[in-house]
Amino acid sequence: METAPVPAFSELISGTQRSAVHLEMRDVYDPGSRRFASWRSGHRENPANRDEWWNPFHSVIAEAVARGVQVRRARVVSEPVSDYVQFEYDVTFSNIAAGEQVRWLPRRRASDLALPGNDFWVFDGRLVRLSHFGGNGEFVQDEMTENPAVVKLCVEAFERVWERAVDHHDYRPA
């Protein structure tokens, strides 16, 4: 696959005009993160205390949404969910507060879907950022492509997942 250099996420989203979609398909990400460790030790973030959890990522998303960009995130998850997915579920209020729409699809309901091998973002239906992770959930690298076949696969896969997925407010992790 022909790839381009990978700009910072903030640069990609700031250049987005209409839509940014993100498909997550792993059951663990960055298991060594401080936020996850704090959650595992029993701390629960207070949605009313924005100073506790708001970070630059949320600001970038909020700015894009304010410009009219629709930001959607879908998560394909195994059930029963992993501790990490339960943590993601518990902190998703922060994504929603920034303006994202979030849905969840139990993996058993995705068996007949053709999905790319990696998580991805698609910006304005034309540019894909693929994310590679190690088996332990640690981030390895991102890859960018405008290859029409890859873009089409990712856009179609996201839309199929989105159609089946359950809105965050209605989903209850099993």
**DSSP notation for the chain:** ---B----HHHHHHT-SSEEEEEE--S-S-TT-HHHHHHHTT----TT-HHHH--HHHHHHHHHHHTT-EEEEEEEE-SSPPHHHHHHHHHHHHHHHHT-EEEEEEGGG-TTS---SSEEEEETTTEEEEEEE-TTS-EEEEEEE--HHHHHHHHHHHHHHHHHSEETTT----
Q: Is residue 117 part of a domain?
A: yes
How confident is the prediction for the chain on average, in pLDDT?
Answer: 96
How many domains, the chain? Answer: 1
3 located within any domain: no
Q: Is residue 174 part of a domain?
A: no
User: What percentage of the chain exceeds 90 in pLDDT?
Assistant: 96
Q: What's the N-to-C CA distance of the chain in angstroms?
A: 37
Q: Is the pLDDT of residue 2 over 60?
A: no
- Quick check: is 126 in a domain? yes
In this structure, what CATH number is given to the domain that contains residue 40? 3.30.870.10
Q: Which residues pair with 128 in a beta bridge?
A: 122, 145
pTM greater than 0.75: yes
Radius of gyration of the chain (CA): 16
Determine the pLDDT at residue 141.
Answer: 94
Dihedral angle sign, alpha carbons of residues 26, 100, 121, 70: positive
Q: What is the pLDDT of residues 89-131, one digit of tens each?
A: 999 999 999 999 999 999 999 999 999 999 999 999 999 999 9
> Which residue, among 4, 42, 45, 21, has the nearest Cα to 116 in the 3D structure?
21
Q: Do the domain assignments include residue 152?
A: yes
The answer to whether residue 2 sits within a structural domain is no
Q: Which domain holds residue 142?
A: 9-167
**Tens digit of each residue's pLDDT (9 = 90 or more) over 23-60:** 999 999 998 999 999 999 999 999 999 999 999 999 99
> Does residue 29 form part of some domain?
yes
